[in-house]
Structure 1
């Protein structure tokens, strides 16, 4: 029974943490409600399958897959090209769909070449700390805006929404740190349930209206047409794949560290298998016209908060998600979860990520070098977060995808700086 409840908790967390991306992308492409619902279904279906693939054949750790933020950005960039480089939305989406397949093939080839094993050595405690802090700083603004109901520059803070969100954060923190094991284990599920009921009572959530028009709906394949060759997308996908590998490696590194420190579990090195699984998952994303998935670092915060390091509930939750997506009535219920509740619960979970970041930095043997690396990485990464993306619109698409993302740019810079300092140290010793 505990595995079923744990699986349900994972399923709810997977939906709550991933549903914003397909909704936002559907909005920028002007999809109607029916198209949006199908796009959400396909994306969630791929995420569920991706989690199972990684858990069984890939890295074999409880790391949930989520829509890659880099692909999210590329979707937005390509939406702006409609009417310029692409005649219609469907043409742009067809090219992006093909880009997922290119990325999937590259993931597999890079893993088989042995490059993945060499790249793993770059993710030292100092680099992992920089990555985690940039991730937290980048998302904290999104969490808080969602908790106060501010979606754009014209919106005003909703006081009642903020009070409700604040109470959900308090309840999540309380249940996460509760002395009774079953309460802390199911803290996310309990907090989301509490928040959903609270928001219904204060009038900040819509009553659930299940979609009963269709009982069963399997996701469609190649919705925007067969794969096409687009040189621009191929170049972009190739560059994005290298960045996604770095993202994947950081997420795996964070979970490995958590399992060792908090659960005395030393997982085997399956970075190569994880990369091959990510390639398969991107091929699935292209097949089902969805968003490319990537292992999410936030899962470490979830595991740390719920103390559920076992793979069984994770796999059960992933299978639940797959089943949910093919039943429109059930999917519509979960999709009606108030966004502010999801943001509030995730905000509390990410406080665990801050703790983990400082534990990582403490594990660094050379503090002076680590401080230099993290100082430069954080300053550049955070600084980029304040530069409007529109100011980079004249740059090549692949370059825009990197420079508009403070998380990726700051992490790459931290790796370069640290490798340079290590090179100097080795040269001095000689």
Structure 2
């Protein structure tokens, strides 16, 4: 029998750690379904439904990965790569000449196809083949382009515009103030203040928005409209389907990066079975997400930074947090309330949060030396990807509609080019 005081102290610390995990998962989840609902012009009731589904689904996903999947305390949440892809496709609706429901249906089909692929990889133990494709250099290119794509999305999203298309200066200035506020908390704050700067920024920014712009704030809907495939029923719009499928396959790189990083943190080499089980679960989550109108899931590499800052590596607090998070989604008023969160505030906070992803990208190439020949190894795919991101989608209008969304996506094209370069060129020959 152990000392009861020690047991109580341990239970208390695990309870606090679980609360920290709830806040971390919340900050990385809440904005995603709201932004997707806005982009695809869903009703307030549909947004509330997707938000509640997201809360329940995310909590369950975390628990299952922690118990049976990769078995690390890594948040399983909406993939940044796929989030950016869905937002890009929605914004290209006018250029592609498609209704948003048609685009959403093509996305659903592509998600289901990629889910089947992930399940096959996981169930047949083929993760080692996927890891050979996503080499460290490909992962570096991916991290650079993902950070740039997300920052562009968040920067645009944190700015408000008038019906005439001009900048809404007061609301936009509030977003800038939120960015500064969160940065100061992150850099100057200590302990919990720094760790939860994202959450504090969301709460503070939301309160300020309600105080100064309450007349323009959205009124929460008490109705929750449940429906399958709210973004659009599956179809065979092949350009959208193929683009989403390729994005879903590239999304597997999140699992590789996260599990590898967690293994290093725990001082172990992850067994191949961890990757296979994680892929299997993520495949199931992706299929479920398509039916619920959610962004596909993946283990969060940013969880490593959270673990390093808290130094709490036990799985129990993480599992408790996942269970509690799912319970939040079962309370109807919660979904309706959070669906009213100002999208500009959420984007401003995440703008700061994902600046650290760029730091992760820089760290990924530390120790790698480049010369005038080998610099093409990273510069060509990264700068090509950025160039495509900067181009107006309208320039691809004359191309076949099936390949327009594929070629217009800088992240996908950059990563694919990196894969080709790594397989086609023997870079060791040019390092001397």
TM-score over 0.5 for the alignment? yes
SS at match of 1:202: helix
- Residue 247 of structure 1, aligned match among 247, 251, 256: 251
Shift of residue 406 of structure 1?
Answer: 0.7
Cα gap change, 1:204 to 1:220, in 2 (>3 Å): closer
> Is contact 1:78–1:92 with CA below 8 Å preserved after alignment?
yes
Pick aligned residue for 1:339 from 339, 343, 366: 343
Name the SS of the counterpart of 2:134 in structure 1. Answer: coil
CA distance in 1: counterparts of 2:428 and 2:217, whole angstroms: 62
- Pairwise CA distance, 1:9: 0.9
The 2-side partners of 1:239 and 1:422 are apart by 29
**Residues 401-410 or 291-300, more deviating:** 291-300
Is 2:130 the counterpart of 1:119? yes
2:156: which partner in 1?
145
1:37 to 30, 38, 48: 48
The counterpart of 2:36, out of the listed 4, 14, 22, is 22
Asked if the contact 1:285/1:292 (under 8 Å) is kept, the reply is yes
- 1:194 maps to 204
| C-alpha distance in structure 1 between counterparts of 2:401 and 2:300, whole Å | 24
Match of 1:169 in 2: 179
Aligned residues of 1:106 and 1:238 also touching (Cα < 8 A): no
1:350 equivalent in alignment to 2:354: yes
In the alignment, what sits opposite 1:418? Answer: 422
1:115 and 1:423, CA in 2 relative to 1: closer, same or farther beyond 3 A? farther
Structure 2 residue aligned with 1:327: 331
Contact 2:65–2:278 (CA<8 Å) still a contact in 1? yes
Distance change >3 Å, CA 75–CA 416, structure 1 → 2:
same
Kindly provide the CA deviation profile for residues 266-294 of structure 1, in whole angstroms up to 9, marking residues without a partner as x: 46253222221121112212444544334
Count of matched residue positions in the alignment of Structure 1 and Structure 2: 411
Cα distance in 1 for partners of 2:413, 2:231 equals: 32
- Show structure 2 runs of 5+ residues with no match: 1-14
1:376 aligns with 380
* SS state at 1:133 partner: helix
- Any stretches of 5+ residues in structure 1 without a counterpart? none
Specify the alignment match of 2:77 in structure 1: 65
Query: CA separation in 2, counterparts of 1:407 and 1:154?
Result: 27
Instruction: Tell me how far 1:408 sits from its aligned partner.
Output: 1.5
In structure 2, what is the Cα distance between the partners aligned to 1:40 and 1:95? 21
> What is the alpha-carbon distance in structure 2 between the residues aligned to residue 252 and residue 153 of structure 1?
45
User: Equivalents in 1 of 2:78, 2:98: separation in Å?
Assistant: 26
Are the counterparts in 1 of residues 141 and 381 from structure 2 also a CA contact under 8 Å? yes
Counterparts of residues 68-87 of structure 1 (less than 5 Å):
68-69=82-83, 70-73=85-88
What CA distance in whole angstroms lies between the structure 2 residues aligned with 1:121 and 1:45? 34
Distance 2:310 2:372 in 1: 35
1:221–1:289 Cα contact (<8 Å) kept? yes
Take 1:48 and 1:162, find their aligned partners in 2: how far apart are those partners?
33
What SS class does the counterpart of residue 59 from structure 1 fall into?
Answer: coil
